[in-house]
Chain A
Amino acid sequence: MTITRRLLIVLGLFLTILIGRTVFFDRSLQVLQSQILTLTDQTLVREELAEDMALATADVALATSYYATSRDPELIADLAQAGTEFQQALDAFTATATTRPMADAALTVARQFNDLNRQSGRIVAAADRRSGLEGEASAIEMAAADQTIDNYLARFHVLEDAISATLDHVITPATDSDVDRARTVISSEIEQTRLLSLGMGLAAGLLVLGAMWVIERRIAQPTRRLAAAAETLARGGTAPPPLLVAHDDELGRLTHVFNEMVHYQNDSRATLERVNQEMVVQNERLRELDRLKDHIVSTVSHELRTPLTSIIGYTELLLETSDGDLDTERAQFLQVVSRNAYRLQRMVDDLLLVAKIDAGTLRLEQAPFDLGTLLREAVETALPVAEDKGVKIVFEPMGSVPVVGDRTRLGQAIDNLLNNAIKFTPGRGTVELAGHCTDSSAKIVVTDSGMGIPPDELARVFDRFYRSSASGAVPGTGIGLSIVSYVAEAHGGSVAVQSQVGVGSTFTMTIPRQPDRTDPGQEVDQSSEPQYA
C-alpha cells in the first residue's frame, strides 16, 4: 500500500470520526431540545386544560345552583355549553396524558364529571318538580321538595370538590413525573454524549498517534537509512550493503532503485578499478618501454660517436697534413666528408641530449666562458654549410661577454638556431646572428630571410618532433628547436620566435649572464636549471 493511500485512509477515518461526532452531537442536542420543549409545553398545556376543566366545573355548579332557585331556561343551555367545554378540555388532556398516572387521572376526572352532570340533572328535575307543586301542594310538601333540592345540592358540591381535588392533586404530580422522565432522558443523553465524545477523542488521538507511528516507521526511518547510505556513497566510501525493501510503497521503490544504483555503482567501481589496475600495469609497461628506448638511444648514440670520432679525426688529419699535395678537388671532397661528419655528430649529440633529458640525467655545467667567442665559433662552424648553400651569414662580433653556464649546451643551442635558419633559407638569402647584452642578461638573435612559419604553428615550433607544414622537403628530425628551448629554460632563460610567411623568421634566445643564486640554500639544479625528468 502506498504512503499516500495510507495517509488518505488515516485522514478519512479522522474525518469520519469528526463528522460522526458532529452528527451525533447534533442529534443529541435535538433530543435534549425536544425534551425540554415537550416538558415545558405539556406542563403549560395541562395546566391550561386543568384550568379549563375547573372553569367548566364551576360553570356547571353555578348554572345548576341558579337553576335550582330561578329555573331560568337559559341556564340549561349554559349547562350544556359548560359540559361540552369540559369534555373538550378533558379530551385534550387525555390526549397529552402519556403516563399511566395521567391516564388514570383523566379517567377519574371523566367519571367524576359524569357523576356531577347526573347530580346536576337530578337537581334540575327536582327544581322542575318543586315548581309544579307551587300553589297546589302544601307548605310541608314544598318544604320537603326544597329539602330534597338542598340535599341534592350538598351532594353536588361534594362532587364538585372531588373534581377540584383530582385536578389539583392528581394532575400536578403527573407533571412532576414527566419532569423526572425528561431529566432521566436528558442526563442519560448527556452521559451518552460525554462517553461517545471521550471515546471519539480517544479514537482520534490514537489515530493521530498511529499516523505518527506510520510516518516514523514508514517514512522517517527508511528516509534516514536512505540518506545515511547515500551520504556514505556520496563521500566515496565503500558502497553500503543493499538496504532492505520493507514495503511496496514510494520509499520502498526508492530504496529498491537506490539498491540497484548501489549495485550498478559497485559494478562500475569494480570495472573502474580493474581498468585502472590494467592501466597501471600498462603504464608500467610503457614506462619500461620508454626506459628501454632511452637506453637504446643512449647506447646507440654512444656507439655512433666512436666511429664518428675516427672519421672526423682522420679527415682532419688528412686535411691538416696534406700541406698542398692534395689537389683542390680532393681537398673539396674531404671538406664535404668533414662537414657531413660534423653534421652527423651534431645530430648524434642532439639525440644524446634528448635521451639525457628524458632520462633526467642531464646536469648543466656552471662554468664561466666568453659568449662572444662562442658566437664566433658557432658562425665558423656554420659557415661552410651556409656557403655550400649560397646563404650569406651576417655577423657583427660582439667582443668579450663573460657568461656563467654550460658552454657545450649553449653552443649546441646556438648551432641549432643557426643551422635551422640556414636550412629554411633559400640560396642567396641571408642569416643574421647578433648578440646583445645587458649587465644581467644576454640575448642571441638569429634572423633569416627564409620561408617563414604560419602564425598558427608558431606556438608549436619548439615542441619536440614538431615540423612546420611549410618545412616540406627540408630534411630534419624536429628536435633541434626543442633542444634550444630546453637549454634556454634550463639556464633560467627563454626563447621566442617572430615570423612572417615569405619574409622570414627571428628567433631570440635570452639567458641570464649569471645563474640565479638569490637563494643561497638552493642547489643550482633546482633553481635555475629545471630538471626535465
Chain B
Amino acid sequence: MHNDPSTLRVLAADDDVDILDLICYRLERSGCLVTRALDGQQALDLARQELPDLVVLDVMMPKIDGYEVTRLLKSNPETAGIKVILLTASAQEPDVVKGFEAGADDYMTKPFSPQELRMRLAAISARR
C-alpha cells in the first residue's frame, strides 16, 4: 500500500446497524478514524460538524437518502472538498449515474469485499 490511510478521517453512514458495524470495523482495521451515522440527516450534520476526509454513504437511508446528502455536501463550499463513496444496492447504470450526478467520487456495490474497500480507500487517499 503506497498511501497510508491511517490519517484518514471517515464518516460512515448506513441505516442497517450490522452493515454499519461491518464497514466501521473494516475502516478501523484499515487504520481510519471512523464516525458513525444511522441516517442521512445525522450523516449531513456530522459531516458539516466534523468535516471528515471521506464519507461512505449508503444510498437507501431514511429521512435523506445518500444522493441528497451527497448533493447537499457538494453544493456547500465548506463541505465540497469531502470525498464521497456511495454504497449502491447494485452496479446498475441509473444508480451509478445518479450517484455521479449528485457529485459522488466513487461507488461500491453491496455486498463489497474487504479488498474492494481497501482499493477504493487507496484511490481516494491518492487523490487527496
Assess whether B93 is in contact with A310, with CB atoms less than 8 Å apart: no
Question: B93 contacts which chain A residues (CB < 8 A)?
Answer: 363-365
Q: Is the interface of A mostly helix, strand, loop or mixed?
A: helix
Residues of B within 8 A of A365 (CB): 91, 93, 96
Assuming the contacts A363-B92, A365-B91, asked whether A316 and B113 have C-beta atoms less than 8 A apart, the reply is yes
Q: Which residues of B contact A122 (CB under 8 A)?
A: none
**A-contact bits for B5-19, CB 8 A (1 contact / 0 none):** 000000000001011
A 295-332 binary contact with B (CB < 8 Å = 1; else 0): 00000001001111110111011001000000000000
**A356 contacts the other chain (Cβ, under 8 Å)?**
yes
CB < 8 Å A-B pair total? 48
Docked CA distance A313–B96 (Å): 22
Report yes or no: A309 in contact with B92, Cβ–Cβ below 8 A: no
Say which residue of A309, A316, A320, A349 sits within 8 Å of B19 (CB atoms). A309
Contact A305 B89 (CB under 8 A): yes
CB closest residue in chain B, given A361: B94
Cross-chain contact A310 with B22 (CB below 8 angstroms)? yes
CA distance A364 to B92 in the complex (A): 7
Cβ of B96: which chain A residues have Cβ within 8 Å of it?
A: 365
Q: Which residue of A lies closest to B29 (CB)?
A: A321
Residues of B with C-beta under 8 A to A320: 114
Say how far B16's CB is from chain A's closest CB, in angstroms: 5
Q: How far is B89's CA from A317's CA once the two chains are assembled, in angstroms?
A: 20
Set A310, A345, A362: member contacting B18, Cβ < 8 A: A310
**Contact flags A484-508 to B (C-beta < 8 A → 1, else 0):** 0000000000000000000000000
Q: How large is the interface on A (under 10, 10 to 19, 20 to 34, 35 or more residues)?
A: 20 to 34
CA distance A310 to B111 in the complex (A): 8
Pairwise interchain contact B111-A345, C-beta atoms closer than 8 A? yes
Q: Which residues of A contact B110 (CB under 8 A)?
A: 305-306, 309
Given contacts A305-B111, A317-B25, contact A356 B19 (CB under 8 A): no
With a cutoff of 8 Å between Cβ atoms, the chain B residues found around residue A364 in the complex are 93
The answer to whether A352 touches B90 (Cβ under 8 A) is: yes
Q: Mark A272-313, 1 if CB is under 8 A from B, else 0.
A: 000000000000000000000000000000100111111011
In the bound complex, residues from chain A placing their C-beta under 8 Å from that of B25 are 317
Shortest B45–chain A CB gap in Å is 24
Other CB < 8 Å A-B pairs besides A307-B18, A314-B18, A317-B114, 14 of them?
A302-B60, A309-B16, A309-B22, A309-B110, A309-B111, A310-B16, A313-B111, A317-B25, A349-B90, A363-B92, A363-B93, A363-B94, A408-B90, A408-B109
**Chain B residues engaging chain A, CB cutoff 8 angstroms:** 16, 18-19, 22, 25, 60, 89-94, 96, 109-111, 113-114
User: What are 6 A-to-B residue pairs whose CB atoms are below 8 Å?
Assistant: A306-B110, A309-B110, A316-B113, A317-B25, A320-B114, A352-B90
